[in-house]
Each structure stands twice: as C-alpha cells, then as structure tokens.
Amino acid sequence: MGFINLLQQPFWEIKKNIGQKKYNLLFIFSFAYFLLISTSIHAQNPVLSQGEFYKIAISKHGIYKIDRAMLTSMGINVSNLDPQTIQIFGNGGGMLPQANSAFRHTDLVENDILVTGEGDGRFDENDYILFYGEGADRFIPDANNQVFRREEHLYDDYNYYFLTFGQKKGRRIANRIDGTQSQALINTFDDYIFHQTLKKDRFNMVESGRIWFGEKFDFQTEMNFNFDIAGLLSSSPVRVSVAVMAGLNSSTSGGSTRTTFTTLLNGREIGTQNMPSLPLGTYAVRGTMTENIFPANNVQTTNNRLTVQLRYNKNGENNQIGHLLGLGVNASRRLQLYGNQTRFRSFQSLRFQNIEYQIDNLNNNATIWDISNPLRPVRQDFTLNGNTASFRVASRGTLQEFVLFQGTDFDKPIFVEKVRNQNLQSFETPDLLIVTPEIFLNEANRLADFRRTNDKLKVQVATTNQIYNEFSSGKQDISAIRDFIRFLYKKSKNLKYVLLFGDASYDYKDYLPNNTNFVPTYQSRESLHPLFSFSSDDYFGFLEDNEGEWEESDRGNHTLDVGVGRLPAKSEREAKVMVDKLIHYESVKTLGDWRKRVSFVADDGDGNDYQLQAEKHAEKLEKADGAFNIEKLYIDAFPKELTPNGKKSPLVRQEINQTIQDGTLLMNYIGHGAITGWASESILDITQVSSWQNLDKLPLLMTATCEFGRFDRPRQTSGAEYAMLNPDGGAIALVTTTRPVFSDANYVINDAFYDVAFTPLNGEMPRIGDIQRITKNNSLRDVNNRNFSLLGDPSMRLAYPKENIVIKSIKNSQNQEVSTFKALDKITISGEVLNQNSIDNNFNGTLSITIFDKPATVKTFGDEAPTMTFRKKIHILFKGTASVKNGKFEFSFIIPKNIDYNLGEGKISLYAQDDSRNLDASGYKSDILVGGTASNLLTDNQAPQMKLFMDNETFVSGDKVKPNTTLIVRLFDDNGINISGMGIGQDITASLKGGQNQDLVLNRFYRANKDDYKSGEIRYNFHDLPEGKYTLTVKAWDTYNNSTSQTIEFIVEKEPFTLSNVKTFPNPFIEEIYFSFNHNRLGEDLEVALEVYTTSGALVKRIEAYDYNVRNESVTLSWNGLNGSGSAIAPSIYIYRLAVKAMISGISQEVRGKIVKW
C-alpha cells in the first residue's frame, strides 16, 4: 500500500511554531530506512546533562549545511571553537512506538558528520559542517508490492538535532572502499513522490481523532495534481497510491447512493473507488475511507511531469462530499544526480548479495554516502569511467539507501534555541509528577511546593520540552511523555499520580487558530464515528510491558498504573486560578458541614433509567458510609414549565444553584447532556457555572453524561472547563466525559466510582487520582471507559472530615436516656470528638448539628416515563451549632410539634471544626426513632420574636439597597423555631412584592445560634432585583406552632455606571501595552471594546472582550502593537477609545486618551 495506516496519516503544508519564531515550509519527503543501533538501558548521565547545546530543526530528509555565519547567528563564539569537538546528536525521524515493549532510543545518539577544514583546529570562514538529517516522517519499504509507504509523524512537522562542542572529539563519517564483487548491475532506482496538502485545506470531520483530511470535493468535483519526475523509466510501471474519504456535509441527511472516485494518469483512467452510502443520524458515522494502488504501464512524462486527476461522482447526492487523504506516485527512474542531491534505493537489490550501482552524468566533485543507517552515514568510494560512476557493495539482501550530492549549496537547519542542561533521568521517583509547558511552570512549581508542604508528598516537575528533548529527540510526541512516566515508574512503584498541567486539543499541529495544545492528549485512530472516536489521558497511565498499543476494541483494554488528571489551563491567568483554588480548598475557610453532603441529580425519561441508577448509587453510598447526607434532585420530581423552546425545569435549576451555594462535597449528574450543559430541560448551563460563588465550598462533579468535559476543542470551552476556571467558585475537580457515552456503560463506571470513593485505601481516604485509577480499572468496557477523564489534581484528597464524632448520651426533658424523639420533647445530646478511638482533648471549636425526621416518600410526575417513588430526607427537626471544648460537647433542642408521628428511623448528623488547627470531624446516628408525642408538655401560646434587616443591622424600613442584597431575619422563641416543613402553611416564608414578585420558603436557611436553640438567623441573598420599591413580609413559626410575621419596605437603586483609575502602561511602549480600569458593575455581563486610531482618525486596531457575571472590579486588556492585518505599527502617537457596555441594560461608558509607540 502507499500509506502506512489510513488511521494515522494526514498530508499537509505546514506553518509551525518553533520556539518564538514561525516558518512556512513545504515538506519534501523521501525514504530512509530506520536501523536500530542503541541499547535499551537508560544512560546514567544523559547527553543534555552537561555542555552547551543548540537545538536545530529540519523539515525534510537530506544533506544539511552549517557554516560559520550560522554558528555566529546562534550566539556561538566561533573564534574559540575547536571544530574537532563539534558533535551533533539526534535520533532520526519517525514517531515513538506506542507499545511499551517496542524498541526506542533511551538517550540522544551522536550522529556521524563531516566537518571540512577541522584539521587546523580552527573554524575558518570557508569551513562548514555537513550532516544527513531525517524529517519528522518515516518511509517504510513494502517489498512485496514494490512501493514505499509513508508513516507521517502525527505530532510534529519537524525533526530536531542538537549541536554541541568543546567536550570531546566528535564522531566523523568513515570511508568505505569500493567492493570487488557484483552479482547484478543496477542503474535505476525506485522513488516515491507524494502530494502535499496545504494547511488551509486540512479538515477533521468530527473534531476528534488523529486524521486530518485534505482537499474537499464538493462544488468542485475534479482536481489535477502534478508530479515533477525527471528520468522516468517508461518501461517500468507507475504505481499511483490513492486514499480518499467520502462523507456527509451534515448529520441531517444521509446518502442513499454510492459515490465514486475515479483516478486518471495523464488523462488515462487507471482506477475507480466505489464509496458506500452513509446512514442518517447525529451519531452516525460521518464518512468511509478507502485506499488503492493503481498501476499504469507505458507512462510517458510531458516536460518531466505526471498529472494525476481525481474525479468525484456524487451520483446526485448533494449532501455527500469527498476528501483526499493521500496521493503519491511510486516510479522507477534513471540513476543519476537530480539537482544538488538525490537519494536512491532499489527493490531489485533485495534479490542479490552483492550489487554494482552505476550512475550517469557524474564527475569527481560528487560524493556518495551510504545512509542505510541514517545516524551512521558512510562515505562510499566510487570509480569514475568518463562521466559514469560505479561502486560495488555487499547488500546481503537488505534494502540499502544512499544519497548522492555535489557542491556546497545545501539547506541550513533552523535554529530553535540554546538548550539548558537537563537530566530528567536523575529524578528520584516522586509520588506526584507534574508535566507542564514552560508558560505554566511558575504555577506548576507553586502547586508542587504546596503538595510538598501540605501533603508531605514527593513532587517532581518537568516541562514538555524537557521531556521531548530527552525522550523523543526534541519532537512533540505523546509517547515521550508516557515513556518518561514509565521510566520513573519502573525505577520505583512509588509514582502514584501524574498531573498534566495545561489544556489539550484534537489539533496537534496548529491547523486551527488560537490552538490549545499545551499538553497533548491521546486521540483515537477512529476519526469518523462520533460515538467511537475518543480522546483520553489514560494513555499516560499504561505502564506495563505488554501495554501501550491500545487496540481500539475490547481486546485492547489496558489498566491504569497511576492516577492521571489534568488542569485545562489556556493562559497563565487560568493556571493561577486553578492553583489558587487547589490551595484554598485545603484552607481553614473551607471547613463546614457541606463536607458531609453528597448530591445526586438525575434526568428523567428513558424508562426512568437515570433516576433508578441514581437511587442505586445513593443506596450504595448510604451503606458504605452513613455519615454523609444525601440530597436527591430528580428532574421528574419537580414540575416543568412549557416554553417556546420546549419543557424546562427552572425549579431544578434553582435547586442546583442553591445546593452549590450551600455546599456539597460531591454532585453526581446522570442523564442527557452536552458540552455546555445538562438535560434538555436546561437544568445547568455555562452561564450558571460561571456565576457560582462557592469558593469556600467547592464540589467534585461526577458527570455521567455526554461531552460535558470535552477539553480538547479549541474553539469551545466546555461546561466542565468553566467549572474549573471560575475564580470565585465552580468545582475543584470533575470526573467527566469528553465524548458521547452510553447509559449502560455510564452506570458501570459510575457504580465502580462508589465502590472506592468513600472507602479507605491503605488506612487513608483515597486521593482523587486513586479513585479515578481504581474506578476505571474496575469498569473496563469499550470506548465509554476511555471517555471519562479527571479534570483536577489527582494528588488532591476530597475534603473528607478527618476525625470521628461519637454520641455518648441522648436524654429527654426528664433526664432519661432515650432512643426515640417525640414531638415537643426537649432533647439533650452529649458526645466526644475522637482521634483514632481516643478523645481529642485538643479539639476546640464548633459543632454543626442537623436532626432529620424519617425519610419522606416522593412520587415523580411521570412526565417522560411512568411515575416512580423514592425516599428522601426532606424534613429537618433542628439545625444549629454548639461549642466543642477539649473534645467534648453538649447541646439541647425542642422537637417540633410538626413531625411524622409514625415511628421510623431519623438521623442525627454531626460535624465539628477546629479552626485553630484546620481540623474537622464527622459523626452520625441513624438508628434513632422519631414519632409519638412527649408527656408532661408545657403550654406555649407566645409567638416568636422577629427582626428584619437588609444587608446589615443599620437598615431601617424604607432604606435604599442595591440589586444584589441580603435579607437578614433574626428570630427568638423560648421553645425554638419550627423548620420541619411538615405542617401545611407552617413554613418560614417570605413574600416579596414590587418590581419582582417572589414567594419563598426559608426553612433550609435557618440555623440556631451557637449553644442556644432558642434564637437563630436566616440570611437569604437576592440577585439582580430590578429597580423600584419593594415590600417584604416574613412569617415564622415556633415549635409549638405559634406564628409571627413582620413587613419591611426598601427601594432598589443602581449606582451610576462609572469607569475609574484608567491606566495605560508602559506608555510609551515598544512591543506590548496594557489598558486597565475599574468599574462598579460587579455581577453584570460586560462588553469591552478597545479602539486605536491614528491622529488623523484612521482605525488601526479594534479589540473586543466579553466578561460574564463579572467578579472583579478591575479589568485589564493587552495589545501587542499589531494592526488589523497583523503588521507592527509604526512609531508614533495614537489615540485610543475604551468603551464598556453593560450588556443587559445597554448602559455604557467610555474614555479616550493618547498612547505613544516607540
């Protein structure tokens, strides 16, 4: 075949970033046979560990030249350079193998080179270096079909070499004398030339997978491709390799008819490719590929050119499109020098042990190198008879390759950078390895330092470039990262966690603008089926000897040996946000009983599958650890609203927001979803996630839904990424999906999650990397398993409470030990905080108490599936706080009159925190009975006392407040306040009338004061109230069902929109300038426009930025001094206009000023 693997091989023209420079190069490739020459034992002192090294890049196979001028431009002091010590290191072209057991070089290999004029010990003006270099790709001979196949490098367009000097004498190319024996005379060679697709024509059908297709056959259904090939032998067949794809323009209509590609060579038809019809559907396959080699005999060139024409016949299916995948020509040519260098090899040589090559039109100035081993070229002597050269070699039945060249005018490599010394192989195996690009190194080191001090972990940090330099000869290659991880793991099994610090992209080669390929992720070979194409970071955790190839079938399943997570940063600011959150997550500010809450959110429909699955997960958790309080938010348990866009569930949306605000250790969603949200009822979207302000109560989100965690699409930020990148809240981590998934497989992995997430591992609660690793290993099941990724630091441990609480005594109002809570009884509970079964006498802090009535039975509405019932702890009998002193506590409360009088098990849930030690504890009792009425009751006809405020206690009814304002309710009653929600019309309620009307139930927001069940407080936040006059009435009940109410008035008024503290810096500027300002529109959506003009009024540049639910009063924009066409502006004075608009109200402000470009 003409191409090594349809599932791995795109073809293109490139524009690639190398260091800080950009180059446009057209690749020309030919074959170089790869010979294994290195040991598999890693060097103790890798090449780059000492000396000065200069990294250079090449784009194609061939002879390269480095002269004095280039060395000088690289910053090398040539006057002190001993040319005999010049060395060049590099491992040739090609990707690293995926299979762990396959050979790869374990360090950079020194190449044999030629240095002219080195004998005098000086590098003079006319001295130069010649070396043979391979491009990034490899070309593999297929002797059976007499063709070459291209194995394109998926991850890099360049190959890299490393130049050094001053250490020791370098390797030089050896000479080989002409042989004496010959069995055959060869005066032709076999060549392979292929079409190079332009970068602008590259296309990925499903934005997933490793294949990027070429030229599109749609409105234009015929294309000509020219191949310049002098010296063609018309007596030998020309073999044209054609790889094509037929696909669909959209998923809304399928193709019922077969389409056809026809190939013509110089106007003569040589083959057809029939493409099958394609099915209809959002998740149907988007195309099919095929590859053929079409032979043609008696081919003649016109002006040394062959023309291949491809025709695509749609057969009337307008929705069908075709794409070129690869096109190449294998042909035999006369053996002679073409241009200034020619590489040659001959399949004919494989039939003989000793060969004589005969080359026409040559003279004594020519040179021949044997490059069969490209790292060890050998200068081949030859005999010249007139202008015909010949040489004899022993081929021994192997395909040899040679390069014939003349002159000194050869391409120069591209200087990339001077490489700092490095020695990753000297790393002691850590607990946590962080892999980061250079741009995020400061934040990666900050996180590493935190894990060292806070978690006592051993941490190592390595940059992607360091890994590529040491493990893949400088080329980007995901297997280099995996190989480095495996190297550390093989040294010691202490390695447990790998953090990939940076975002990824399905585009490895920057075809897309604003690409996000900071730390690459694995892309599947499958690139046409949206259900079976995937990306996965699991690849980096396959470290066993028999793993790595990862066949895309059930037979290819591997197990993770380390926990792998990712922080999807696209900028230094985003990196800082996530590290800030990780550090804050461990701080004393995050202590609270939210750490005992686990929330299940479930979609409806599909036969109640999702709600039933959530029930099973909740039941498993409750059996594993009853200390956690379970919240159930099932869509079908809430009424829906019919809108022009279908049925919506605003109440579920509100409940999710409130649950996040109250805090939950884990929120688990099961159901339909997409990149930007959950469920067709719009219960969660990216606007919500971005608006969450729950920095002290960050949850882990487990999202068993489609694509919510897709982090490798540069043009779209997923909901999971928004949750990670929200600086004021969101999530601390997500176990989430990167592609579409299936319900049954979702259940398997979600169920495996609860087998480990709340179970100690080696005496400690697991870190989230342990959870991810064990969960995935215990739920191996086709592609679905691979689509779940961990966004977060795998070395982080969830905020499980650390110590235990035990209840020592429960007494009633008669001072009797009881096991039943009865209505209106006064209960006193005492207990202790334990550290490893002994009282923690140093524990001093606050106990949070929640007393639950029996679970209630909830019946769903049956909107999209039959009704179902489930049990849920809805009714709370008491919520308050008490003091913990020297590890002991005691508190009292009154059981409200409104309970379920039937006997059943309630629950005592306790949480304690010691702020001075940043320490907490958890305990519970679930075998306490609730029901009946106490005896010897007191009489209470006195209503509770109430005080209402807005924002603070200085408020007086009629005052003005801002649109975001807080209701404060202070309550007192001798027998406490009723929050059970059991009595009809006996909840704590608030009724807001005015510019916006709201009726609220506030039971969940009430908490009794510390050590005082008689008094307590409610704080409720109103958001975005329209301007105007409001009346607010609050009504509350005590435990004896006496009520009180109070009414206040207030006026909502917005402040005028102002911009202040406007700055430009540096001003004057040379390359980049910053514009900053302050505003007073926190919480609103802002549009910022910066325009720069010449003094004559011509627009130079316009920059727009959008910020939703703004949380910072200071905003900064930057401009790189380039105009709208991308060119640098001239030094001069310019006028800027900065306009800021509140998007909802339309109110805007602007400022103008001057800037100076030097």
Please state, for a pLDDT cut of 90, what percent of the chain lies above it.
83
Average pLDDT over residues 775-786: 86
The CATH number of whichever domain residue 808 belongs to comes to: 2.60.40.1930
pLDDT of residue 460 exceeding 80: yes
Query: Do 779 and 876 belong to one domain?
Result: no
Please state, for a pLDDT cut of 70, what percent of the chain lies above it.
96
Query: Do 327 and 352 belong to one domain?
Result: no
Query: Do 49 and 158 belong to one domain?
Result: yes
Looking at 169-278, which runs of residues are DSSP E strands?
174-176, 184-186, 188-194, 216-217, 222-228, 238-248, 259-265, 268-275
What are 695's two structure tokens?
């920095």
pLDDT of residue 1026 exceeding 70: yes
pLDDT for residue 35 = 36
| Cβ-based neighbours of 560, under 8 Å, separated by 6 or more | 538, 541, 542, 772, 773, 776, 777
What are 475's two structure tokens?
């080329």
Helices (H), 372-472: 441-454, 464-471
Query: Do 395 and 492 belong to one domain?
Result: no
pLDDT for residue 13 = 26
Average pLDDT over residues 1130-1150: 90
Of 933, 959, 992, the last residue of a domain is 933
Q: Is the pTM of this model over 0.85?
A: yes
More confident call, 793 vs 552? 793
pLDDT of residue 31 exceeding 60: no
Looking at 1023-1079, which runs of residues are DSSP E strands?
1028-1037, 1043-1052, 1059-1065, 1073-1079
- The verdict on residue 1102 lying in a domain is yes
pLDDT of residue 3 exceeding 60: no
Query: Do 924 and 964 belong to one domain?
Result: no
What are 235's two structure tokens?
């007596």
The CATH number of whichever domain residue 1029 belongs to comes to: 2.60.40.1220
Report the SS3 class of residue 450.
Answer: helix
Confidence class for position 739, pLDDT limits 50, 70, 90:
very high
Own/partner pairs, 610-614, CB within 8 angstroms, 24+ separation: 610/670, 610/671, 610/743, 611/635, 611/636, 611/860, 611/868, 611/870, 612/868, 613/670, 613/743, 613/746, 613/747, 613/750, 614/668, 614/670
Render pLDDT for 631-664 as a digit per residue (tens, 0 to 9). Answer: 999 999 999 999 998 999 999 999 999 999 999 9
pLDDT of residue 16 exceeding 60: no
Cβ–Cβ < 8 Å for 308, 293 = no
Cβ–Cβ < 8 Å for 820, 903 = yes
Taking the C-alpha atoms of residue 17 and residue 1033, their distance in angstroms, rounded to an integer, is 64
Looking at 43-178, which runs of residues are DSSP E strands?
53-58, 62-67, 87-89, 110-111, 114-115, 128-133, 138-142, 147-151, 159-164, 174-176
Taking the C-alpha atoms of residue 851 and residue 898, their distance in angstroms, rounded to an integer, is 14
The per-residue b/e assignment along 113-148, b for 16 or more CB within 10 angstroms, e otherwise, is bbbbebeeeebeeebbbbbbbbbbbbbebeeebbbb
Of 1018, 1052, 1086, the last residue of a domain is 1052
| Cβ-based neighbours of 180, under 8 Å, separated by 6 or more | 392
Nearest C-alpha neighbor of 904 from the set 873, 860, 870: 873
Cβ burial, residue 576 (10 Å; 0-12/13-18/19+):
middle
Query: Do 815 and 959 belong to one domain?
Result: no
Alpha carbon of residue 859 to chain centroid: 40
What are 172's two structure tokens?
């030089």
Taking the C-alpha atoms of residue 937 and residue 824, their distance in angstroms, rounded to an integer, is 7
> Cis peptide leading into 530, omega within 30 of 0?
no
What are 508's two structure tokens?
């490895």
Nearest C-alpha neighbor of 843 from the set 906, 886, 783, 796: 886
Confidence class for position 559, pLDDT limits 50, 70, 90:
very high
What are the backbone dihedrals phi and psi of residue 609, each rounded to the nearest 5 degrees, phi first?
A: -55, -45
Render pLDDT for 1069-1128 as a digit per residue (tens, 0 to 9). Answer: 888 898 989 998 887 788 999 999 999 999 999 998 888 778 778 888 889 999 988 889
Render pLDDT for 959-984 as a digit per residue (tens, 0 to 9). Answer: 999 999 999 999 999 999 999 999 89
In the beta sheet, which residues pair with residue 262? 272, 311
Render pLDDT for 176-198 as a digit per residue (tens, 0 to 9). Answer: 999 888 889 999 999 999 998 88
Helices (H), 501-589: 572-585
Looking at 795-887, which runs of residues are DSSP E strands?
803-811, 820-823, 826-835, 838-839, 845-852, 856-859, 869-872, 876-885
pLDDT for residue 1056 = 85
Cβ–Cβ < 8 Å for 1032, 1048 = yes
| Cβ-based neighbours of 642, under 8 Å, separated by 6 or more | none
Query: Do 780 and 665 belong to one domain?
Result: yes
pLDDT of residue 702 exceeding 90: yes
pLDDT of residue 1041 exceeding 90: yes
pLDDT of residue 1045 exceeding 70: yes
Confidence class for position 379, pLDDT limits 50, 70, 90:
very high
Kindly report the length of the chain: 1158
Cβ–Cβ < 8 Å for 328, 195 = yes
Average pLDDT over residues 262-282: 93
pLDDT of residue 577 exceeding 70: yes
Taking the C-alpha atoms of residue 484 and residue 788, their distance in angstroms, rounded to an integer, is 23
As for how many domains the chain has, the answer is 8
Average pLDDT over residues 700-726: 96
pLDDT of residue 564 exceeding 50: yes
- The verdict on residue 1141 lying in a domain is yes
Render pLDDT for 251-262 as a digit per residue (tens, 0 to 9). Answer: 555 555 789 999
Query: Do 471 and 589 belong to one domain?
Result: no
Taking the C-alpha atoms of residue 219 and residue 106, their distance in angstroms, rounded to an integer, is 50
Confidence class for position 250, pLDDT limits 50, 70, 90:
low
Query: In the predicted model, what is the mean pLDDT of the chain?
Result: 92
Taking the C-alpha atoms of residue 148 and residue 61, their distance in angstroms, rounded to an integer, is 15
- The verdict on residue 8 lying in a domain is no
Sign, CA dihedral 217-325-137-359, equals negative
- The verdict on residue 572 lying in a domain is no
pLDDT for residue 22 = 31
pLDDT for residue 253 = 55
pLDDT for residue 27 = 27
Confidence class for position 248, pLDDT limits 50, 70, 90:
confident
What is the pairing mode between strands 1043-1052 and 1028-1037?
antiparallel
| Cβ-based neighbours of 153, under 8 Å, separated by 6 or more | 93, 94, 95, 136, 137, 138, 475, 477
Average pLDDT over residues 104-111: 96
Cβ–Cβ < 8 Å for 401, 355 = no
What letter would DSSP give residue 203? B
- The verdict on residue 279 lying in a domain is yes
Query: Do 134 and 268 belong to one domain?
Result: no
Report the SS3 class of residue 303.
Answer: coil
Taking the C-alpha atoms of residue 342 and residue 402, their distance in angstroms, rounded to an integer, is 8
The CATH number of whichever domain residue 787 belongs to comes to: 3.40.50.1460
Which domain does 1128 fall in, by range? 1059-1157
Query: Do 720 and 601 belong to one domain?
Result: yes
Average pLDDT over residues 661-675: 97
Of 1002, 1026, 1052, the last residue of a domain is 1052
State the angle between helix axes of 743-756 and 609-624 in degrees (0 to 180), rounded to the nearest 10.
10
Query: Do 320 and 210 belong to one domain?
Result: yes
pLDDT for residue 903 = 96
pLDDT of residue 297 exceeding 50: yes
The CATH number of whichever domain residue 271 belongs to comes to: 2.60.120
* Range scoring the smallest mean pLDDT among 120-134, 703-717, 1029-1043, 1137-1151: 1137-1151
pLDDT of residue 84 exceeding 90: yes
pLDDT for residue 1072 = 86
Query: Do 641 and 718 belong to one domain?
Result: yes
pLDDT for residue 1029 = 95
Taking the C-alpha atoms of residue 742 and residue 644, their distance in angstroms, rounded to an integer, is 29
Q: How many CB atoms lie within 10 A of CB 1066?
A: 13
Cβ–Cβ < 8 Å for 379, 176 = yes
What are the backbone dihedrals phi and psi of residue 574, each rounded to the nearest 5 degrees, phi first?
A: -65, -40
pLDDT of residue 138 exceeding 90: yes
Report the SS3 class of residue 854.
Answer: coil
- The verdict on residue 1080 lying in a domain is yes
Q: How many CB atoms lie within 10 A of CB 101?
A: 11
Sign, CA dihedral 732-735-736-737, equals positive
pLDDT for residue 42 = 66
- The verdict on residue 362 lying in a domain is yes
- The verdict on residue 564 lying in a domain is no
